[in-house]
Amino acid sequence: MRLLAILFGAVLGVIVGIASTYVTLRDLAPVDTIQTGAWKGWPRAGTPDEDPYSRAMLARTGELALGSSEGLKLLARTDDAGGALSGRCRYTVTGQLPAARLWTLTVESDQGANLPPPSRGARAIGSDQIVRNADGSFTVALAPSPQPGNWLSTEGSASIRLAARLYDTTARTVTVLTDFSVPSINKEACP
């Protein structure tokens, strides 16, 4: 009877351990996360100080982290109101990104995969090609159909995420308590 209880406890412990690890690793931000608005980032990703859960999440998804001397990646899966980003809706991304020598803004699948090229428009835009407002900020439309000004196509995708990659930036030195400038993401319309 005692051996059966020990065996049951061991099996239960293994099942709970595997389930809790799975839940932790499927989350967008397991441990080392900074968040401002809808944007999340991991300043220690790709460094020797990276936490083991973040390392395991990257191994599971196959994504590559930017190294500490390369830059920082920020991800948004929701708009500022907390609604999941949908490729069927129209959003306005307005503001500025942290200072960087170069940055890119990319529409990806919600799992991080590249989307097939759209019939019109582009899936990414860079700081070297964006049209800025008079105050230095920018406005980018995310929509499945063409929009005036800066526009990223979400055509043919249901669930999306937005990735901002900051190259050669000091934003990697931020802490959880630091507030840095990120653009707002606002839903304009949804069919």
Tell me: the pLDDT tens digits for 114-132? 888 899 999 999 999 999 9
* Distance separating alpha carbons of residues 116 and 46, to the nearest angstrom: 27
CATH 2.60.120.600 fits 33-51+65-189, yes or no: yes
The distance of Cα 165 from the centroid of its chain, to the nearest Å, equals 9
Of the spans 19-23, 112-116, 127-131, 175-179, which averages the highest pLDDT? 127-131
Q: Which residue has the tokens 């991991």?
A: 42
182 touches 37 (CB < 8 A)? yes
Q: Is 151 helix (H, G, I), strand (E, B) or coil?
A: strand
How confident is residue 163, by pLDDT bands cut at 50, 70 and 90? very high
Q: What's the whole-number mean pLDDT along residues 173-188?
A: 73
* Distance separating alpha carbons of residues 110 and 58, to the nearest angstrom: 15
Does position 165 have pLDDT exceeding 80, yes or no? yes
In this prediction, residue 105 carries a pLDDT of 96
Does position 184 have pLDDT exceeding 90, yes or no? yes
Q: Kindly state the percentage of the chain with pLDDT values over 90.
A: 43
* Distance separating alpha carbons of residues 160 and 99, to the nearest angstrom: 25
In this prediction, residue 143 carries a pLDDT of 96
In this prediction, residue 60 carries a pLDDT of 65
8-state DSSP, 106: E
Sheet of 71-76, strands arranged across: 34-36, 39-41, 71-76, 160-169, 100-109, 124-126
Query: What pTM, to 2 d.p., does this model score?
Result: 0.76
